Amino acid sequence: MKIHAKPLKKASSKAQSAMEYLMTYGWAILIISVVLAALYQLGVFNPMTFAPKAPPGSCQVFRPNGPYTTSFINLEGICSGELPQYVAQFNLGQTSWIYSATPPLPNGANKGTITAWINPKPVQGDGTYAGIVRIDGCGCTGTAILLSLQGSSGLPSMATWCNDFVPSSGPKVVYNSWNFVAVVLNGQSVSLNVNGAWVNGTLGSMPSLKSGGCSYNFSIGSTDSPGRMFNGSIANVQVYNTSLSGSEIQALYLEGIGGAPIRLQNLVGWWPLNGNANDYSGNGNNGRINNVNFVSNWYSGYTPP
C-alpha cells in the first residue's frame, strides 16, 4: 500500500511562500502600521480636524451707538457655532496671562456671570489653585471674583479676597480635556457649573465688588501669585452683568466651544481667544498678552456636547 506525500509537500510550499511574503513585505506593513498609529494619536483622523473653522474675529457684537449701549445691537459675521481656528495656550512656567485695565463688571456690582471653555493640566505651582478668570479689587478692603480650579481635585471654585467658595463635592472638570465652566453671582449668592451640571447648588454669599482704593482690572489665566497661574488652554470667555438663568447656562454649554453669546444687552465682555485677545462684545476691552500662544492643533479632548 503506497502513501502519497504530495499534499503535504503542497501545504509546506504554501507555508514557505507565506513566510517569504512576510519577510519581503512585513517591514513595510509594520512601518505603515506605526505611521497610521502616530497619525491617529496626532488627531489626523479626528473628525474635528476636518470640521469648518471660524477665523479670528469672524463673529462679533455690533453696537451702532457705541460701547456699552444696548439699542439695536446684534451679532455680525459667522456666528453659527463653528469651531474656532485657534485657542489660547497658557503656560505656568512662563507666568502667562491676558490682562485688561478695564474690568467688564463695574465697581459695586453684585450680579454677574462668567463662562469659559478650559482644557486644564493638573494644578501645579504651590498646589492651591489655578486661576481661570479674575476681576480684581485688592486686599481684604476690596473684593475680587476669581473663577479657579482647586488643587488636584478638579473642583472649580469662586474666590474673593478673604472669602473662598469651594465645593466639597460635585461634578469635576476632566484634566487634559475640554470643559465648560461658569460662575453665576445672584445678588448675594454664588453658584458654579461644570459641563452643564451645577456644583453643590448655591455655595454661599458674597459682598458687592469694590476696588478697595487700588487698581481694578480684569485678567484671564492669572491669580495673585505666579505659582497659581492657569496651565493649559482657554477659549470663549464671556462676561455678563446679570445672573443668567439655569436654562441660559445650559444653552451656552450646548452651543459648544465656538458658541456665540446670548442676552446681548447684558454682555459686557467676550474674548473668544481665537487667535488674539480682542474683546468682541463691542465694548473695546481688548487684552494685553503676556507669554500666551494661540494654537490651532487643539482638538484633542474636545467632544461637542
- CA distance linking residue 176 with residue 144, whole number of Å: 27
Number of domains in the chain: 2
Phi, psi (5° rounding) for residue 223? -135, -155
> Is there a single domain that holds both residue 20 and residue 57?
no
Residue 231 lies in a domain: yes
Residue 272 lies in a domain: yes
> Is there a single domain that holds both residue 41 and residue 64?
no
- CA distance linking residue 261 with residue 116, whole number of Å: 11
Residue 73 lies in a domain: yes
> Is there a single domain that holds both residue 113 and residue 39?
no
pLDDT band, very low/low/confident/very high, at 48 (cuts 50, 70, 90): low
113 forms beta bridges with: 184, 240
Residue 237 lies in a domain: yes
pLDDT band, very low/low/confident/very high, at 101 (cuts 50, 70, 90): confident
- CA distance linking residue 292 with residue 66, whole number of Å: 29
> Is there a single domain that holds both residue 21 and residue 162?
no
Tell me the CATH number at 153. 2.60.120.200
Q: Beta strands of 92-144 (E only): which ranges? A: 97-100, 112-120, 129-136
Q: Which among 140, 266, 147, 269 is positioned nearest to 207, based on CA atoms?
A: 140
> Is there a single domain that holds both residue 39 and residue 58?
no
The answer to whether residue 90 scores a pLDDT higher than 70 is yes
Residue 187 lies in a domain: yes
pLDDT band, very low/low/confident/very high, at 284 (cuts 50, 70, 90): very high
> Is there a single domain that holds both residue 22 and residue 115?
no
Q: What Rg, from alpha-carbon coordinates, does the chain have? A: 26
> Is there a single domain that holds both residue 165 and residue 257?
yes
> Is there a single domain that holds both residue 7 and residue 63?
no
Which residue matches cell numbers 501545504? 11
Which residue matches cell numbers 481665537? 274
- CA distance linking residue 248 with residue 106, whole number of Å: 22
Q: Report, as an integer, the average pLDDT of 33-41.
A: 56
Q: Which among 210, 243, 216, 241 is positioned nearest to 108, based on CA atoms?
A: 210
> Is there a single domain that holds both residue 32 and residue 166?
no
The answer to whether residue 45 scores a pLDDT higher than 60 is no
> Is there a single domain that holds both residue 18 and residue 152?
no
Summarised one tens digit per residue, pLDDT across range 176-235 is 999 999 988 887 778 889 999 988 655 666 666 665 556 667 889 876 566 677 889 999
Summarised one tens digit per residue, pLDDT across range 137-178 is 555 555 567 787 776 677 777 665 556 677 777 788 888 999
Report the chain's mean pLDDT, rounded to a whole number: 80
Domain hosting 121: range is 53-295
Residue type, 283: N
The answer to whether residue 3 scores a pLDDT higher than 50 is no
Single residue among 45, 61, 78 that ends a domain in this structure: 45
Single residue among 12, 27, 45 that ends a domain in this structure: 45
> Is there a single domain that holds both residue 126 and residue 159?
yes
Q: How far is CA 238 from CA 48, 199, 232, in A?
A: 23, 19, 18
